[in-house]
Amino acid sequence: MFHWLEKRPFFFAVGVFITIAFAGLIEILPNFAEAARPVKGLRPYTVLELAGKEVYKKDNCIACHSQLIRPFKAETDRYGQYSLSGEYAYDRPFLWGSKRTGPDLHRVGNYRTTDWHENHMWDPTSVVPGSIMPAYKHQFTNIADIETAYAEAVTVKKLFNTPYGDEIQPGKEAFEKHFKEVVLPEAKKIAADMKNKEVKAMVEQGKIPEIVAMIAYLNSLGDSRYKAK
């Protein structure tokens, strides 16, 4: 067989290609499958975080900020560990971005606080001198769309088997129960670390400003979704 192939370069080359390709698939495909799975311990976004993600998209934060740390020393030194594909398992859509007018935010929750985000969104230059980022003061008065975020959680749970618990169920009563028992306490915890009295008052009244949802989302960007701090 080998003697026959040695006399026929074309078939020999095809045989070598097939052998290498098969071996490569055996080696590579399991790694791809593993990388596509959620990072161990990864939890899906809470309803409040989903509402904040919608604010992030609505206010076009993706135009200036990426959420993808590449495996280069210059990036990992500045932003932390490079991004793993399994960290995006519950992201729909991905917000990788393609431009960095501002820094990458994929691990911003590891090193920024609720207080910092509050000041930054109200007046960016107060914490980043010379910043060209506009202020987002409207987020302090606009009410976050929690009901739509809850509907998204119900949808991805059903269509993509996103591992939400039994507390995420379709229906108005289920939403109201989840809002009262889960979303509002989460919002109050964030508002407690903020200085803005109007925001605190709104949350106490059961109204959640966009800034609270936005901060919840930003705080979730990092290791806190799959590592105990």
Any bridge partners for residue 143, and if so which?
209
Q: Over the stretch 49-77, which tens digit does the pLDDT of each residue have?
A: 999 999 999 999 999 999 999 999 999 99
Q: Over the stretch 179-211, which tens digit does the pLDDT of each residue have?
A: 999 999 999 999 999 999 999 999 999 999 999
CB 123 within 8 A of CB 129: no
d(CA 80, CA 107): 7
Query: pLDDT band for position 10 (50/70/90)?
Result: confident
b/e sequence 159-173, b meaning 16+ C-beta within 10 Å: eeebebeeebbeeee
CB 147 within 8 A of CB 213: no
d(CA 147, CA 54): 12
Count each helix (H run) and each strand (E run) in the chain, helices first. Answer: 10, 0
- The CA-atom distances, in angstroms, between 184 and each of 40, 43, 188 are 28, 19, 6
- pLDDT above 90: residue 85: no
